[in-house]
Amino acid sequence: MIPKHSNVTARQFSDSAEIKVLASERPGDCRIVSSVLALVGDKWSVLIIVGLGNGPLRFNEIKRLIGGISQRMLTLTLRGLERDGLVTRTQFATIPPRVDYELTPLGRSLWQVVEPLGAWAHAHIDDMKTARKKFDERNGHITKSADD
């Protein structure tokens, strides 16, 4: 899915019903929203949600798909996603035991939001690497790799 530019103006956006609902909330509610954003906004959660977007996966399939995540971090992140109702864990009585992880309807609704972000990141990674290199050269930084 390729992100599309919207021609919505700032005034149109600020007049929308969704913004009015958010603006009418009590200031303390921001703390509640920030705790949710902290969970679903960390890189491992987003990568797991995107990875499960195509259907259920086993633990090691998720680990291979993501790459770079430790077994402990994957376990902790999956537990957090399960606790928040975004992922289900299904254990099958087989030998060896088999466990599948799958998005819940709530998790699928989050996937619909983060999948375009992943597509955007994939489409623009080379642009960002180029920008980082130019910035580092301009500011006298030693560039170790294009991913820094």
Residue closest to 51 by CA, chosen among 123, 118, 146: 118
> What's this model's pTM, rounded to 2 decimal places?
0.69
E strand spans, the chain:
57-58, 87-92, 98-103
The pLDDT score that the predictor gives to residue 32 is 76
Residue 8 is predicted with a pLDDT of: 39
Architecture of domain 11-138: Orthogonal Bundle (1.10)
Q: Give the CA distances from residue 49 to residues 45, 68, 81, 82, 122, in Å, rounded to whole numbers and listed in that order.
A: 6, 16, 9, 11, 16
At 22, phi and psi to the nearest 5? -65, -40
Side-chain-side CA neighbours of 44 within 13 Å: the count stands at 19
* Regions in the chain scoring below 50 on pLDDT: 1-21, 146
Give, for 38, the enclosing helix (H) or strand (E).
helix 29-41
